[in-house]
């Protein structure tokens, strides 16, 4: 290896590390996977969208087309990655679904259960596997992408916001429980982000392009939507040794929306 290549590898924050990313085919998920691959990690992606994950083709990327609610498959992803690389350093929970702004009168119990299952119950399933491998290793980092809406709600998103509040509380609970094993757990609260999900938050029948400008963009004090790369930068920090004393915290990457 030439010396400038050696230098680059030694500068990489995730060289030889193994990370599992849910929602890897989504807007934020893809940016997170690309960032981690660029920093030398081996990455397993889990998403329902096989084709979106195919865009990430890389010798160190392993896609698993599955639901995050399928406990057996999640168990298999962790065990295969551990068998292959001998380690599980990080879990990034980025999968999720939106709720279109709807008054509670028109939200069914099934709608509520679906949001809570995918955005919150799934975290129990993935974190349980992460703990299984990280605790004996005495290290690891778990990151959950929740939402600034958990602290700064918008009308009509009651079920989504409840799921994201649960995500943050669950992650804090993991942080205290796993601290004695050297495992860290942190939440990221994105503000309105420029991904396919954003238009799904508008009320049914509303003009999503108008909502994007008038509701979402204008609600960010720093004046623009959050880009997936903004989130990927925060994920890299929380996974890396730079954050070795950071646990139980919530990093707002929201352009000031939470203020």
Hey, which residues are catalytic here?
A: 160
Q: Please state, in angstroms and as integers, the Cα–Cα distance from residue 227 to each residue in 32, 101, 176, 198, following that order.
A: 11, 22, 31, 11
Q: Cα(38)–Cα(83) distance, rounded to whole angstroms?
A: 23
Q: Which is nearer to ligand NAD, 7 or 143 (CB)?
A: 143
Is 157 near ligand NAD (CB under 6 A)?
Answer: no
Q: Which of 23, 140, 156, 255 binds ligand NAD (CB under 6 A)?
A: 23
Q: DSSP strand E in the chain: where?
A: 18-22, 42-47, 61-65, 90-93, 140-145, 183-190, 250-253
Stretch that binds ligand NAD, among 22-30, 74-82, 100-108, 173-181 (CB under 6 A): 22-30
Q: What is the smallest separation between the CB atom of 16 and ligand NAD, expressed in angstroms?
A: 27
Q: What is the smallest separation between the CB atom of 122 and ligand NAD, expressed in angstroms?
A: 7
Is 236 near ligand NAD (CB under 6 A)?
Answer: no
Give kind and range of the element (H or E) at residue 74: helix 71-85
- Show the site string, 84-123: x = touches ligand NAD by CB under 6 A, - = not: ----------xxxx--------------------x-----
Q: Which of 41, 92, 198, 239 binds ligand NAD (CB under 6 A)?
A: 198
Three-state SS for 110-163 is HHHHHHHHHHHHHHHHHHHHHHHHHHHHCCEEEEEECCHHHCCCCCCCHHHHHH
Q: Cα(92)–Cα(184) distance, rounded to whole angstroms?
A: 12
Q: Please state, in angstroms and as integers, the Cα–Cα distance from residue 65 to each residue in 50, 68, 112, 250, following that order.
A: 5, 10, 25, 29
Q: Cα(27)–Cα(208) distance, rounded to whole angstroms?
A: 17
Is 28 near ligand NAD (CB under 6 A)?
Answer: yes
Is 195 near ligand NAD (CB under 6 A)?
Answer: yes
Q: Which of 142, 161, 193, 236 binds ligand NAD (CB under 6 A)?
A: 193
Q: What is the smallest separation between the CB atom of 138 and ligand NAD, expressed in angstroms?
A: 29
Q: Which is nearer to ligand NAD, 190 or 234 (CB)?
A: 190
Give me the residues paired with residue 64 across strands.
46
Kindly report the number of other CB atoms within 10 A of residue 249's CB atom. Answer: 15
Q: Which of 63, 140, 190, 255 binds ligand NAD (CB under 6 A)?
A: 190
Stretch that binds ligand NAD, among 63-71, 81-89, 234-242, 243-251 (CB under 6 A): 63-71
């Amino acid at each position: 290896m030439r010396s400038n290549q050696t230098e680059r590898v030694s500068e990489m924050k995730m060289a030889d590390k193994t990370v599992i990313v849910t929602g890897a085919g989504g807007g934020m998920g893809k940016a997170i996977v690309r960032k981690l691959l660029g920093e030398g990690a081996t990455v397993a992606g889990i998403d329902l969208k096989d084709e979106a994950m195919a865009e990430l083709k890389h010798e160190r990327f392993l896609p698993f087309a599955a639901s995050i609610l399928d406990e057996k498959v999640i168990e298999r992803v962790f065990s295969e990655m551990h068998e292959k690389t001998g380690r599980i350093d990080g879990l990034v929970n980025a999968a999720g679904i939106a709720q279109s702004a709807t008054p509670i009168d028109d939200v069914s119990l099934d709608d509520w259960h679906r949001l809570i299952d995918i955005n919150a119950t799934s975290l129990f399933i993935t974190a349980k596997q992460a703990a299984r491998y990280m605790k004996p290793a005495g290290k690891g980092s778990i990151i959950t992408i929740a939402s600034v809406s958990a602290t700064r709600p918008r009308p009509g998103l009651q079920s989504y916001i409840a799921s994201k509040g649960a995500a943050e509380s669950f992650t804090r609970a993991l942080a205290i429980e796993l601290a004695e094993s050297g495992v860290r757990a942190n939440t990221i609260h994105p503000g309105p982000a420029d991904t396919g999900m954003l238009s799904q938050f508008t009320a049914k029948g509303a003009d999503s392009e108008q909502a994007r400008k008038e509701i979402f963009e204008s609600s960010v004090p720093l004046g623009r939507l959050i880009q997936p790369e903004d989130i990927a930068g925060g994920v890299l920090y929380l996974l890396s040794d730079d954050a070795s004393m950071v646990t139980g915290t919530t990093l707002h990457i929201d352009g000031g929306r939470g203020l």
